[in-house]
């Protein structure tokens, strides 16, 4: 059978998608032992995990990009979950990092704006998970800043205010939320979760992956494996099994 004929007979295979939208902590999530790679491994043959992390970005810029990533029902109908993971840059101190800083009220408003946009293209609240920024280990991040000739440009207390705002937005908008800032600090020495005081270490990636999977597993457990197991393919008539 010609490929064109097979394509005409068979239904288009459309993998459901999980979209990871965030800053560098999302962009780096497909590195070795990353939390995004963990999800992709768990969901292989069930859905694609799409990394849309953009290093250095804040919610002011993210809300402008989101409609270019998901455009109406044509690209939204296959999305089974979206994570929105911003705040580490928004919470940068205004005087020391004005380019990335976003005021607290605007940050909350931007998150609401993104949720409202997703709902407008029929991605329901139960498919949206907000993730707060992780805690900041100030002494480690100060070393990273000094190595670049900068001063310490973030502080953990301020990051916590943004994390609380993120939790509040989720409550008001009816979405799920993963309060990474609070959960990581249940262990008093949370520095092991971070590689440089800001970004996640291997342990931090594992922690986030486990926390996120506990929320996604229930949402996605009903997804079937796509295409039959190879032993179940009729080798004498594969078209009957595969088209």
20: phi then psi, degrees, rounded to nearest 5? -100, 110
- Which is the catalytic residue, given 78, 179, 192, 196? 196
Reply yes or no on whether 234 is catalytic.
no
Tokens representing 155 are: 């502080």
- Report residue 124 CA to chain centroid gap: 16
Q: What is the dihedral of CA 82, 88, 93, 99, to 10 degrees?
A: -60
Strand positions, DSSP E, 65-198:
79-85, 128-131, 176-178
32: how many CB neighbours lie within 10 A of its CB?
7
Reply yes or no on whether 199 is catalytic.
yes
CA atoms of 206 and 61, how far apart (whole Å):
28
How far, in Å, are 12, 26, 54, 200, 204 from residue 180 at the CA level? 38, 13, 19, 11, 10
Reply yes or no on whether 196 is catalytic.
yes
- Which is the catalytic residue, given 24, 78, 192, 201? 24
- Which is the catalytic residue, given 29, 91, 101, 199? 199
Cβ-proximal residues to 202 (8 Å cutoff; 6+ apart), any chain: 33
DSSP state of 130: E
DSSP state of 134: P
Cβ-proximal residues to 171 (8 Å cutoff; 6+ apart), any chain: 177
Q: Which residues are tagged catalytic?
A: 24, 196, 199
């Amino acid at each position: 059978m010609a490929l064109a004929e097979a394509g005409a007979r068979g239904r288009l295979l459309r993998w459901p998608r999980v979209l990871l939208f965030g800053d560098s902590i999302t962009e780096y999530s497909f590195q070795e032992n990353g939390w995004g790679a963990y999800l992709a491994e768990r969901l292989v043959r069930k859905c694609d995990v799409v990394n849309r992390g953009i290093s250095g970005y804040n919610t002011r810029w993210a809300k402008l990009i989101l409609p270019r990533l998901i455009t109406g029902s044509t690209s939204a109908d296959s999305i089974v979950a979206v994570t929105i993971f911003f705040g580490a840059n928004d919470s940068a101190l205004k005087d020391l990092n004005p380019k990335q800083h976003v005021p607290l009220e605007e940050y909350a408003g931007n998150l609401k704006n993104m949720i409202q946009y997703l709902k407008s293209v029929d991605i329901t609240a139960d498919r949206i998970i907000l993730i707060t920024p992780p805690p900041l280990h100030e002494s480690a991040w100060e070393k990273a800043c000094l190595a670049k000739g900068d001063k310490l440009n973030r502080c953990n207390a301020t990051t916590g205010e943004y994390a609380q705002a993120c939790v509040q937005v989720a409550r008001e908008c009816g979405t799920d939320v993963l309060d990474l800032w609070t959960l990581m600090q249940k262990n008093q020495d949370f520095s092991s979760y971070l590689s440089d005081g800001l970004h996640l270490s291997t342990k931090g990636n594992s922690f986030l992956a486990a926390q996120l999977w506990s929320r996604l597993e229930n949402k996605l457990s009903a997804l079937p494996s796509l295409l039959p197991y190879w032993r179940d393919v009729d080798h004498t008539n594969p078209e009957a099994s595969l088209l």
